[in-house]
Amino acid sequence: MDDDKKLVQKTLDGEKRAFEMIVRRYQKPLFNYIQRMVGNRELALDLTQDIFVKIYSSLDSYRFQYKFRTWMFKIASNSLIDYFRKKRIDTFSYEQKEKRDSPSTFQIPDDEDSVVKTFELSNLRKRIEQALEKIPPQMRELFVWRHINEFSYKEIAEIKEMPVGTIKNKVFQAKEMLRRLLEGLI
Amino acid sequence: MKCLKADQIYLYLEGELSAEEASAVRFHLASCPSCQKAVEEREHLNQACKELPLGDLPTDFTPRVMRKIFPEKVSFRSWLRALAGGLASFVVFSLLFLFLSASPFLPFLTAFYRAPLNLVQDISLVLVKIFKLLTLLIKVFLQLISLFTRGFMSVFTLIQPEIQISLTLFFLIFFFFFFYKIKRKFLIGENA
């Protein structure tokens, strides 16, 4: 049993301190994910709190054969979908997005401009943050999990219940989308 | 080999291609400047994506979450302590006020003693008035009912017995459904 699972078991046995350790361990990654998704610090703080409450109240339904981190982020992702729905923010599915993006966009044009290389790394990071707000939430979510939360493709596939190959493809698509948006930020 | 697609480049950069595929890509890159440029471009992007800054949380965030999950219960003893504290500070401030304003102490004490008695007296007067009004309303309601039944009976005796029975049945069924519906309305949201 890994460390997370031990803490979950202790929490289920009534040890408040064990859940506090879970909160301390995951508050930063969870907050950074939510902040990138909603784009507002105060709102992200409130939502992170609410999600921890939800995680605590759902602990009974956690199955120990799954990784706790992926289970937790699945709850967070579903909570965000609910939040976006309530606020009537467009959260179209991946399938719809695929129809909008023609497959040819993944092909590199012969006269491709070298946009990204014109920026210094620190400057480029700032611009990526700006561009990130402009990509659709579902694509942004995958990008954030991969590059900010540093999840493996397998973990993301587990959270989203999708094949690993599909997830990789979506993350690459998100990066290409970012790259194109960076052209507009020059 | 044809020119590389973006997903091939990303797979290559992340080391996700098989050894055979990777060497084919390397072979192609050696002779294709535009693909070389595309790979460098995405390598630079990948590098920037790896170290995006992380936002910090307020220092009291964890206790805030824990308080939300396990709200602190205030014990009876704490309530009593707060009440005693409040009372003591009231007495101290009153005495201080009397001392500073040089007001006579006895009239203040008498007024303080009489205030609750006056309140009880006022409330009792209001209650008596409400009681009187209610008895009057009941009397009026009872008289209205007796008038209605007398009128109804005098009309009812003029009708044939078959029609009397069917009318009675009709009203019984009507009242049954009327009360059933009212009951359902009250139960909505609970067990209905």
- Total number of domains constituting chain B: 3
Q: Please, which pLDDT band fits residue B96 given cuts at 50, 70 and 90?
A: confident
User: Helix A164-184 and helix A153-160: axis angle, to 10°?
Assistant: 100
Q: Classify residue B80: in a domain, yes or no.
A: no
Counting Cα atoms < 13 Å in the Cβ hemisphere of A89 gives: 12
Mean pLDDT of B105-116: 79
User: Smallest CA–CA separation between B27 and chain A, in Å?
Assistant: 18
Question: Any idea what DSSP says for residue A92?
Answer: -
Q: Classify residue B69: in a domain, yes or no.
A: no
Q: Which range, B1-5, B148-152, B179-183, has the best average confidence (pLDDT)?
A: B148-152
Give the A:B interface size as CB pairs under 8 Å.
116
Q: Classify residue B154: in a domain, yes or no.
A: yes
Cα A51 to the center of its chain, rounded Å = 14
Looking at the fold, whether B146 and B169 belong to one and the same domain comes out as no
Mean pLDDT of B41-66: 89
Contact between A8 and A62 (Cβ < 8 Å): yes
pLDDT of B188 strictly over 60 = no
Residue of A nearest to B56 (CA): A28
- Average pLDDT of chain A is 85
- Max intra-chain CA distance, chain B: 114
Q: Which whole-number Å values give the CA distances from A30 to A44, A96, B2, B55, B64, in the listed order? A: 9, 27, 42, 11, 15
Mean pLDDT of A23-50: 95
pLDDT tens-digit map of A57-102? 999 999 998 899 999 999 999 999 999 888 876 665 544 454 444 4
Report the C-alpha gap between B121 and B49 in whole angstroms: 77
Report all structural domains of chain A as residue ranges with CATH numbers, in order of start. Answer: 3-87 (1.10.1740.10), 115-182 (1.10.10.10)
pTM: 0.64
pLDDT of B191 strictly over 60 = no
| Host domain of residue B13 | 1-53
- Average pLDDT of chain B is 86
Q: Classify residue B89: in a domain, yes or no.
A: no
Q: Which of B4, B50, B52 sits opposite A108 (nearest CB)?
A: B4
Last residue within a domain, chosen from B29, B53, B77: B53
Residues of chain A in contact with residue B56, where contact means CB-CB under 8 angstroms, are 28
* The pLDDT of residue B129: 95
Looking at the fold, whether B153 and B166 belong to one and the same domain comes out as no
Comparing A121 with A74, the larger pLDDT belongs to A74
pLDDT of B75 strictly over 50 = yes
Q: Tell me what percent of the residues of chain A surpass a pLDDT of 90.
A: 60
ipTM of predicted assembly, 2 dp = 0.80
Looking up tokens 């009187």 gives B132
Mean pLDDT of B112-118: 84
Contact between A22 and A59 (Cβ < 8 Å): no
Tell the burial category of B64 from Cβ atoms under 10 Å away from its Cβ (0-12, 13-18, 19+): middle
Least confident of A28-37, B22-31, B40-49: B40-49
